């Protein structure tokens, strides 16, 4: 009862000179003498062996276990085995660790109590490969089960680390067999694309290496068709690569584009116009004596976050610059018109309201006569179905970006991963902790 090791009893405990305790164990479970091959109970003892399995810490000083176990003759006539040594589920044959120590070593990492494999290994005085094997065993049920039903799927890329290449080998088999010139091959890609459950909070469901349309399509295609058909919305960044793959494998889902990237695009347009105007006006890059350079940060602010003083400063600076300043101002107002349109998201807007603000934005872009604004308007027009879906549902890819933060924190704790497969496994563990109840001990 003290150790709670099923099938073993403590016979005596000795204090060692170094302060540690030595516990002598004997077998209490009768099933330990059942032959592992035929299952018949053995009766004739062949000899005695002692093993020293490692176990979880108990008390403030180390406890070393010594299990005196017997070897038995199997006397069953039909059985091929002559003899065997006792074993128990708590301490399997040839195991140097108890089952529960091994499981704990893995669980400390999978459940995030220790951030890294090496931290768990140090705590339990085990080696890194032993703990990593335990992590794989504990995490296998996570990766092997089919993904749970998902209503809203978020797709986003994340930089996983440095790429690794196998250099081109001119005499290599695969090149010469096809008669093609030898090419370097990617062994570990720099990118991972993650698929996250944004509606149900089940974390990252999976990752795929690389960020081409084929990579995304491969992951989607390898999921069950019934699972794919249940997805109602897919949220992506403004990325045509994901668009193609999603259209092909999730034809029933509504595509939504994340608004952060639309606003980012609009802000880039304002900065681009400002730089072009400076070049035309002064024939050089901007410097800190230029009025438009001084307000460059204010141009990136949202209208509603500017104080009256800041707005006055921005407005007057640009108006004082005459024609060139008004071009920058027109670009800034265009950005704000687009933001006013996007602000309708989550307010259950009716279609007239959306149409009204969209028309205002388009008209502004058309009347301003600025090529950069026209390009922005045509991009919005291309992505309009996805943007409209965002306005109507209010769904964003913020959840995926949040998971990316967890993924990167995990990679930093590990000082980066060399092995992308291990990284995907650890990512899955790290991002599903909330869903698995690791943050809620009750
Ligand atoms: Zn047997």
Contact 88, 29 (CB under 8 A): yes
Contact 202, 150 (CB under 8 A): yes
Ligand 1 centre distance from Cα of residue 42 (Å): 8
Burial environment of residue 185 by CB neighbours within 10 A (0 to 12, 13 to 18, 19 or more) = middle
Ligand 1 centre distance from Cα of residue 90 (Å): 21
Ligand 1 centre distance from Cα of residue 32 (Å): 13
- What b/e readout covers 333-349, taking b as 16+ CB neighbours within 10 angstroms? bbbbbbbebbebbeeeb
d(CA 98, CA 67): 12
- Count other C-beta atoms under 10 Å from residue 309's C-beta: 8
User: Which residues crowd ion ligand 1, with CB under 5 Å?
Assistant: 35, 37-38, 74, 76, 79, 81
pLDDT, one tens digit for every residue, the chain (442 residues): 888 888 999 999 999 999 999 999 999 998 999 999 999 999 999 999 999 999 999 889 999 999 999 999 999 898 989 999 999 999 998 899 999 999 999 999 999 999 999 999 999 999 999 999 999 999 988 888 888 889 999 999 999 888 888 887 766 665 556 666 677 888 888 899 999 999 888 889 999 998 889 999 999 999 999 999 999 999 999 888 889 899 999 999 999 999 999 999 999 999 999 999 999 999 999 898 898 899 999 999 999 999 999 999 999 999 998 888 999 999 999 999 999 999 999 889 999 999 999 999 999 999 999 999 999 999 999 999 999 999 999 999 999 999 999 999 999 999 999 889 999 999 999 999 888 888 876 6
Ligand 1 centre distance from Cα of residue 102 (Å): 29
Nearest in space to 142 (alpha carbons), one of 111, 115, 114: 111
User: What are the beta bridge partners of residue 403?
Assistant: none
Helix, strand and coil percent figures for the chain, each rounded to 5: 50, 20, 35
Ligand 1 centre distance from Cα of residue 103 (Å): 30
Ligand 1 centre distance from Cα of residue 24 (Å): 28
Using alpha carbons only, give the angle 216, 220, 221 rounded to the nearest 5 degrees. 110
For the chain, domain boundaries: 1-96, 97-145, 152-256, 259-393
**One-character DSSP codes across 372-385:** HHHHHHHHHHHTHH
Ligand 1 centre distance from Cα of residue 45 (Å): 14
DSSP-derived letter for residue 260 is: H
Ligand 1 centre distance from Cα of residue 43 (Å): 11
Ligand 1 centre distance from Cα of residue 48 (Å): 18
Ligand 1 centre distance from Cα of residue 238 (Å): 66
pLDDT of residue 366: 94
Ligand 1 centre distance from Cα of residue 70 (Å): 15
Ligand 1 centre distance from Cα of residue 44 (Å): 12
* pTM, full prediction: 0.83
Ligand 1 centre distance from Cα of residue 71 (Å): 13
Q: Which strand (E) or helix (H) includes residue 25?
A: strand 21-27
User: What are the beta bridge partners of residue 283?
Assistant: none
Ligand 1 centre distance from Cα of residue 351 (Å): 78
Ligand 1 centre distance from Cα of residue 137 (Å): 30
Ligand 1 centre distance from Cα of residue 85 (Å): 12
User: Which CA distances in Å does 59 have to 56, 113, 126, 398?
Assistant: 10, 20, 19, 45
């Amino acid at each position: 009862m003290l150790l709670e090791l099923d099938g073993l009893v403590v016979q005596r405990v000795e204090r060692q000179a170094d302060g540690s305790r030595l516990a002598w164990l004997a077998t209490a479970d009768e099933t330990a003498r059942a032959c592992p091959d035929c299952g018949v109970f053995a009766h004739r003892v062949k000899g005695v062996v002692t093993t020293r399995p490692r176990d979880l810490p108990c008390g403030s000083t180390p406890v070393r276990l010594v299990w005196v176990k017997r070897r038995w003759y199997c006397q069953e006539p039909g059985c091929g085995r002559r003899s065997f040594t006792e074993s128990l589920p708590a301490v399997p044959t040839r195991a140097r660790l108890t089952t529960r120590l091994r499981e704990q070593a893995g669980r400390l990492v999978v459940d995030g109590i220790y951030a890294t494999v090496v931290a768990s290994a140090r705590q339990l005085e085990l080696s890194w490969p032993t703990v990593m094997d335990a992590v794989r065993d504990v995490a296998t049920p996570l990766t092997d089960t089919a993904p749970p039903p998902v209503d809203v799927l978020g797709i986003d890329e994340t930089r996983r680390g440095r790429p690794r290449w196998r250099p081109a080998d001119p005499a290599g088999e695969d090149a010469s067999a096809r008669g093609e010139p030898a090419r370097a091959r990617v062994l570990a890609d720099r990118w991972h694309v993650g698929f996250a459950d944004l509606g149900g909070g089940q974390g990252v469901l999976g990752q795929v290496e690389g960020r081409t349309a084929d990579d995304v399509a491969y992951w989607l295609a390898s999921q069950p068709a019934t699972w794919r058909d249940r997805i109602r919305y897919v949220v992506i960044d403004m990325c045509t690569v994901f668009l193609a793959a999603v259209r092909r494998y999730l034809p029933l889902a509504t595509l939504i584009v994340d608004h952060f990237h639309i606003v980012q695009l609009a802000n880039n347009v304002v900065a681009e116009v400002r730089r072009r105007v400076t070049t035309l006006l002064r024939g050089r890059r901007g410097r800190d004596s230029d009025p438009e350079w001084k307000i460059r940060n204010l141009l990136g602010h949202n209208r509603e976050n500017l104080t009256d003083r800041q707005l006055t400063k921005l407005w007057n600076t640009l108006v004082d610059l005459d024609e060139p300043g008004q071009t920058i101002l027109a670009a800034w107002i265009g950005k704000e018109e687009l933001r006013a349109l996007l602000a309708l998201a989550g307010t259950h807007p009716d279609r007239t309201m959306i149409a009204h603000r969209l028309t205002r934005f388009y008209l502004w872009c058309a009347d301003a006569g600025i090529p950069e604004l026209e390009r922005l308007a045509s991009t919005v027009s291309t992505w309009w179905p996805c943007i409209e879906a965002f306005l109507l549902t209010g769904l964003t890819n913020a959840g995926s970006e949040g998971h990316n933060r967890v993924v990167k924190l995990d990679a930093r704790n590990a000082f980066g991963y060399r092995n992308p497969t291990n990284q995907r496994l650890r990512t899955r563990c790290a991002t599903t902790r909330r869903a698995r109840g690791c943050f809620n001990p009750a």
